[in-house]
Amino acid sequence: GENVEQHPSTLSVQEGDSAVIKCTYSDSASNYFPWYKQELGKGPQLIIDIRSNVGEKKDQRIAVTLNKTAKHFSLHITETQPEDSAVYFCAAMGRSNYKLTFGKGTLLTVNP
Interface positions with other proteins (CB under 8 A): 31-32, 34, 36, 41-46, 49, 89, 91, 93, 96-105
Closer residue to other proteins (CB): 75 or 105: 105
Closer residue to other proteins (CB): 80 or 108: 108
DSSP 15: T
Nearest to 19 by CA among 79, 104, 91: 79
Please report how close the Cβ of residue 85 comes to other proteins at its closest, in angstroms. 18
Please report how close the Cβ of residue 21 comes to other proteins at its closest, in angstroms. 15
Please report how close the Cβ of residue 26 comes to other proteins at its closest, in angstroms. 14
